[in-house]
Amino acid sequence: MEFQVTFRLRLALIVLALGLGVAAGAYALAPTTAHRSFTVTLPTSATAPVSGRLLVFVTDAKTARAAAKGGEVASVDTNPFSPKDATVIARDVGRLEPGQAIVVDGDTEAFPQGLSQLPAGDYLAQAVLDTDHSYDYNGRGAGDLLSKVVPVTLGNAAVPALVLDAVQPGRDPWTASAKAPPGMQDMLTAARPHATAIDFQSPALTGFWGRPTLMKGWVLTPPDYDAKSSKTWPVVYYTHGFGATAATLTAPLATVWQAMQKGQMPPMIWVFLDESSPTGTHEFADSVNNGPWGQALTAELIPYLEKSYRMDARVNGRFLNGHSSGGWATLWLQVHYPKIFGGTWSTSPDPSDFHDFTGVDLYAPNANMYRKADGTATPLVRDKGQVIATFETFAKLEQTINAYGGQLASFDWVFSPRGADGRPVPMFDRATGNVDPAVVAYWRDHFDIAYRLKRDWPTLKSDLDGKIHVYVGTADTFYLDGAAHRLKDTLDALHATSSVQFIEGRTHFDLYVEGDDRQALLKKIAWQMYAVARPNAAPENHP
């Protein structure tokens, strides 16, 4: 796993390879012109009733088997980078008893089309019960129930039966995944003695939610750390992007540890912060929907950590770093709490100027997320100059999987006002793509970073000038370079001291790469931070 665990890296993570194992015996469905259903059963061997969001995935058998390169297909899943390759059928399950069967209509909640619209032919299907409604965030998770992959023939009469007879195992955060780069397990093993879990109950968040609410993550101490020393170490507060959790943060933690051990990065304390929540990422924003996460971080967790570790508690001893949604979070924290942090180094941040929200001007009259003014589809994902997913397909796939927890719904939970039903008011209509100007006005006043800079610069300048550093690729996969250009224009117009750099040809996923070093940019960023905290450090120590 690369260092920059991002909101979009989650998309790559949940694109599960079509790998091994097909259940024997084919089933069939009635002609595709008829509404057909799947029967999904919880076996009698189950020990308790279950509930959640039931998802059935259907994909073309020939294509899936070809992707498996001759092997059997172990899983059928959706792919946000190619959202129309698999059909997703969904329904909520309030309570399913052992031995009970439930019928899932193939057309009521389906994307991109129902079973009745699929051409006759051979398909593969698999059912998943998303027990904690987290599928939109990070795919299949611990405790989810799965069926075997079942062959289906559309065009015949029998209805396939799917049995939820397997449980998705959890993952050990200190065990490298099968897709991890070579050597990651050794890195994790070496870093583990120097990492301590954060499991801090926030009074502010607990008060907001009315139940114990924890802040999670890891503290990584550098190789020369001595808890009994009078010396202090600069601190980097890192937060991830969409799809990551505390469990996945051990991979970037191990990468940082190895780089510090080799002298490729300066000795600093790194705090890896988990910004995941049931609603997506809370992005450490003070939100009327998610709660006061920024307040909890700056007024509660940081003081607690500074009492527990030999941390440099000066403003110029605290720094921020994050990529994608984590890039937005760290940029927002720096702008909103300029007296707390000595600088942010935010890479490929989510939109910081809502005049360009992944290519859409939210402030334009009759703004629409799905269609441009000329009626053409709004792209959302690109690769090598080619559009591979539109905003509409992404939004409708996300909504089919679940009403909350996905990337676009997560924006509403962070940025939107609370509606009369207690939920955030959607910024745009999921059926039509039409933007709600009243909601956008609220977004602007509270979370448009460029707008805040323009509005409040006379007040912010003395504490913020020189502290904003942004990096983004000119070929960003999600068109995030557009908003970064607008942010740079705003900062330049204010005559602010800042650094917004565009790396030619780089995407969302290879921004940090130089030659064979996949973390070259991270190492440069770390030394830039260290130069602020320790300006008298000898330049020759900089690798």
- For the stretch 211-240, pLDDT in tens is 999 999 999 999 999 999 999 999 999 999
pLDDT surpassing 60 at residue 3 = no
Q: CA quadruple 371, 373, 376, 381: dihedral positive or negative?
A: negative
- Any domain includes 517: yes
Quick one: DSSP state of residue 298?
Answer: I
Give the type of residue at 258: Q
User: 297-308 b/e with 16+ CB inside 10 Å = b?
Assistant: bbbbbbeebbee
Q: CA-CA distance, 255 to 261, in Å (whole number)?
A: 10
The first and second tokens of residue 200, run together, are 């801090």
pLDDT attached to residue 154: 84
Q: Is the peptide bond before 535 cis (omega within 30 degrees of 0)?
A: no
Confidence at 20, pLDDT banded by 50, 70, 90: very low
Compute the average pLDDT of residues 92-119: 93
pLDDT attached to residue 68: 86
Query: Which of 444, 463, 478 represents a domain boundary (last residue)?
Result: 444
Query: Which of 139, 167, 195 represents a domain boundary (last residue)?
Result: 167
- Any domain includes 235: yes
pLDDT attached to residue 541: 52
Residue 225 and residue 151 share a domain: no
β-pairing, 150-154 vs 27-29, is parallel
Residue 72 and residue 144 share a domain: yes
β-pairing, 121-130 vs 145-146, is antiparallel
pLDDT attached to residue 539: 58
- Rounded to 5 degrees, φ, ψ at 286 are -85, 95
Residue 234 and residue 133 share a domain: no
Residue 139 and residue 31 share a domain: yes
Residue 474 and residue 331 share a domain: yes
Compute the average pLDDT of residues 274-300: 97
pLDDT surpassing 90 at residue 376 = yes
pLDDT in tens, 385-397: 899 999 999 999 9
Residue 418 and residue 337 share a domain: no
> Radius of gyration (Cα) for the chain, nearest Å?
24
Q: CA-CA distance, 89 to 113, in Å (whole number)?
A: 9
Contacts 24+ apart (CB under 8 A), 520-528: 521/347, 521/471, 522/3, 522/4, 522/255, 522/256, 522/259, 522/265, 522/321, 523/259, 523/264, 523/265, 525/321, 525/345, 525/469, 526/236, 526/259, 526/265, 526/266, 526/268, 527/265, 527/266, 528/345, 528/469
Count of domains for the chain: 3
Residues 6+ apart with CB under 8 A from 78: 14, 57, 85, 86, 88, 397, 401
Lowest-confidence pick of 60-74, 178-192, 225-239, 332-346: 60-74
- Any domain includes 211: yes
- Any domain includes 222: yes
Domain region containing 421: 379-444
Residue 396 and residue 283 share a domain: no
Q: CA-CA distance, 275 to 246, in Å (whole number)?
A: 8
Average model confidence (pLDDT) for the chain? 91
pLDDT attached to residue 497: 98
pLDDT attached to residue 1: 34
pLDDT attached to residue 270: 98
- Any domain includes 528: yes
- Any domain includes 180: no
pLDDT in tens, 450-494: 999 999 999 999 999 999 999 999 999 999 999 999 999 999 999
Query: Which of 444, 464, 488 represents a domain boundary (last residue)?
Result: 444
Lowest-confidence pick of 17-31, 174-188, 319-333: 17-31
The residue among 302, 332, 484, 483 whose CA lies nearest residue 414 is 332
Residue 120 and residue 74 share a domain: yes
Residue 344 and residue 245 share a domain: yes
Q: CA-CA distance, 247 to 177, in Å (whole number)?
A: 11
Which residues on neighbouring strands pair with residue 156, listed in sequence order?
Answer: none
Please give the share of the chain, as a percent, with pLDDT higher than 90. Answer: 84
pLDDT surpassing 90 at residue 4 = no
Residue 191 and residue 161 share a domain: no
Q: CA-CA distance, 236 to 305, in Å (whole number)?
A: 12
With H, G, I as helix, E, B as strand and everything else as coil, classify residue 276: strand
Residue 511 and residue 409 share a domain: no
CATH code of 242's domain: 3.40.50.1820
Quick one: DSSP state of residue 502?
Answer: E
Lowest-confidence pick of 176-190, 314-328, 343-357: 176-190
pLDDT surpassing 90 at residue 127 = yes
- Any domain includes 458: yes
Confidence at 495, pLDDT banded by 50, 70, 90: very high
Q: CA-CA distance, 243 to 133, in Å (whole number)?
A: 13
pTM: 0.92
- Any domain includes 177: no
Residue 226 and residue 311 share a domain: yes
pLDDT attached to residue 179: 83
Dihedral (C-alpha) 253, 254, 260, 266: value to the nearest 10 degrees? Answer: -10
- Residue given tokens 């939210």 in the structure block: 362
